[in-house]
Amino acid sequence: MYEEVQGYLENPPKRKMKKYEYMKKLEGMERDEVNELIEKRLKYIMKEIKVLDTHFVAGVSKASERTQATPRADEFNVVAVDIVLRYPEHRFLFANPKVFERSGSDSNHLQQNYVIGFVFRGENREDVLHTTEDWYDDLQDVHETLNPKDCVLESDMQVDIRKMITDGDVDMGEEV
């Protein structure tokens, strides 16, 4: 950050904007002072605004027909996310993954990260939730966006052969 401030002050824009005024206040400060001010400001902002986003991860394998470490778009009818880590209560938000923008590397896959919305600190210090138009807080609302012809068949759900592999094949040792 210190280098960015110095670079900006060495080559200021021709049109003096607010950013220039703020950068000018940092002129002459030592690296540690600049970094401390920036860290302090970031902590404040992070208390006031929280970004809600996804982080979809899946293993790559031929058996799962994945070419990258993200879920395939055809694996879910509905995506549900509990936002408790950035919101003061367990609250689920739902989305139809068919409306998500696909991965640039393989259009059969979802991206890892989607912005769900933001939590802002309200006037009375309460958390106020704002979501993007793809996310719903009522499962019935997202259900209405589903097209039966696109839905995952129940027979294709929960395809996980780990239990079949371990049934009878695992020696749990002697009973104590």
Element at 100 (helix H, strand E): none
pLDDT at 175 (0 to 100): 52
Do residues 115 and 132 make contact, with C-beta atoms less than 8 angstroms apart? yes
Please compute, for residue 11, the number of CA atoms within 13 A of its CA located in the half-sphere on the CB side: 3
Those residues whose C-beta lies under 8 Å from the C-beta of residue 79, and which sit 6 or more positions away, are 54, 94, 95, 96, 97
Do residues 66 and 109 make contact, with C-beta atoms less than 8 angstroms apart? yes
pLDDT in tens, 66-119: 778 888 888 889 999 999 999 999 999 999 999 999 999 899 899 999 999 999
Average pLDDT (110-129) is: 92
